[in-house]
Amino acid sequence: MKILELLEHPRAGFAGVFLACAGLLGFAYYAQYVMYLDPCPMCYLQRFAFMVMALFALIGLIHGARGAMRWVWTAGVGLGSVWGAVTAIRHIWIQNLPPDQVPDCGGGFEYNMQMFGLGEALRSAFAGSGDCAEISWSFLGLSMPWWTLIWYVALTVFLIVAVARVNKQ
């Protein structure tokens, strides 16, 4: 089977998104446990977005729907992507605040989950903290939230194009 023929298969777009999200999550854990870059609360939210995207992509891959149901799984990936993109944009904004306007450091995401529950942990994570303003890693001049934003957009566009292309056949 030629590679172009493989890309025309309905499951190819979901497989690509799933593998990319798995690789990105793998890098996030590598950065945390090997490079010793502790994630801030907003980093956890961005990881969660990739997990949601990977989950819906995996369901789409396994289900292999050829009809309108394929768009349901694509919408699930899109919702995860929107969650992640909004969080990444907020994270970038916090990283670019003047030092005197950076939010105070609070408890970490795990601490807030244990002490206050999921709702408060999510609210405080999205509000950001001083930890979120710190740039401890960059590649080609872009911090990690910039790269996650690029990946959210690229993977969503890729999947929409892949699913729409299959619909035309």
Could you tell me the CATH number of the domain that includes residue 21? 1.20.1550.10
> pTM of the entire structure?
0.77
Domain assignment present for 70: yes
Confirm whether 3 is domain-assigned.
no
pLDDT at 51: 96
| pLDDT for res 40 | 81
Asked if the structure places residue 66 within a domain, the reply is: yes
Mean of per-residue pLDDT scores for the chain: 80
Question: What's the pLDDT score for residue 167?
Answer: 53
State the DSSP string of 111-151.
Answer: HHHHHH-HHHHHHHHHH--HHHH----EETTEEHHHHHHHH
Q: Is the pLDDT of residue 1 over 80?
A: no
In a domain, 54, yes or no: yes
**Residues 29-68 pLDDT 10s:** 999 999 888 888 888 889 999 999 999 999 999 987 777 7
CA-based nearest residue to 109, from 7, 5, 39, 54: 39
Question: In terms of pLDDT, which residue wins out, 106 or 55?
Answer: 55
In three-state secondary structure terms, 65 is coil
Is 1 contained in some domain? no
Give the chain's domain count.
1
Q: Which residue has the higher pLDDT, 76 or 123?
A: 76
Residue for token pair 């907020």: 90
Domain range spanning residue 114? 10-167
Q: Which of 83, 91, 128 is nearest to 109 (CA)?
A: 128
Among 84, 67, 68, residue whose Cα is nearest residue 17: 84
Q: Would 4 be classed as within a structural domain?
A: no
